[in-house]
Amino acid sequence: MRYGRRATTAVACAAVAAMSLAGCGGGGGDKKGDDKPSSATSSSAKASGGEGAQSPSPSATQVLAQIRGEKDIEVTINSAVRDSGGFVTVEGEVTNNGTEQFDANDWVGNETALAASGASVAGAVLVDEAGKKRYYVLRDTEGKCLCTMKLLSIQPKETRPFFAQFPSPPETTTSVEFELPTMPPAKISISEG
């Protein structure tokens, strides 16, 4: 009789453990991970916005920098995190404080190869002034940026999340300048992920 109770207890414990592990799973089987290396996938949730427009959901409480450009467009940078895979992921929000719809066509930059990224933050650059280096947005094998794409039809008073992933500056570099075409530059701090 003792063995029967032990077997029942073991089965019950295994069932509880299985349910606990299932609750810890990543979920989101419908995520498209083609836009970013796998090293950054676990660090951020995805936001809707169409194919290639997946963006992490930035922390609304932290603000590293805010920049305002023409047409009352505001870019808020909420985080710049260096991960162990050698990448820095910048996350934030774009807010249209103007009176007209905004498309981020000018933020792609002048590089012809990035034209496939369309309206995006593909033209963003991190500048390490001390190291005298510029770090451009990374690309996938199709030449598209590892950043938020399809930043189209942003309506007045609408806010959308964005991300851009860059090669990591040396670990000794903790402050860089974030530059986006048509917008003023902003100093931001890199934190360790």
Structure-model confidence comparison of residues 6 and 175, the more confident one:
175
Residue 118: both structure tokens together = 């369309």
pLDDT given at position 61:
67
Residue 105 phi, psi (nearest 5):
-60, -35
**What is the end-to-end Cα distance of the chain in Å, rounded?**
53
Quick one: pLDDT band at residue 167, thresholds 50, 70, 90? very high
Residue 188: both structure tokens together = 């931001």
pTM comes to: 0.68
CA distance 178 to 160: 18
Taking residues 52-71, what's their average pLDDT?
71
CA neighbor of 101 nearest in space, from 156, 142, 164 = 156
The CATH class of 38-192 is: mainly beta
Contact between 30 and 46 under an 8 Å Cβ cutoff? The reply is no
How far CA 168 is from CA of 77, 137, 187, in Å, comes to 17, 11, 16
CB atoms near residue 24 (< 10 Å): 7
Domain boundaries, the chain: 38-192
Residue 145: both structure tokens together = 């940026």
3-class secondary structure, 180: coil
Structure-model confidence comparison of residues 91 and 15, the more confident one:
91
CA distance 171 to 8: 53
Place of tokens 């996350």: 91
Any idea what DSSP says for residue 5? Answer: H
3-class secondary structure, 81: strand
Taking residues 49-68, what's their average pLDDT?
63
| pLDDT over 50 (residue 11) | no
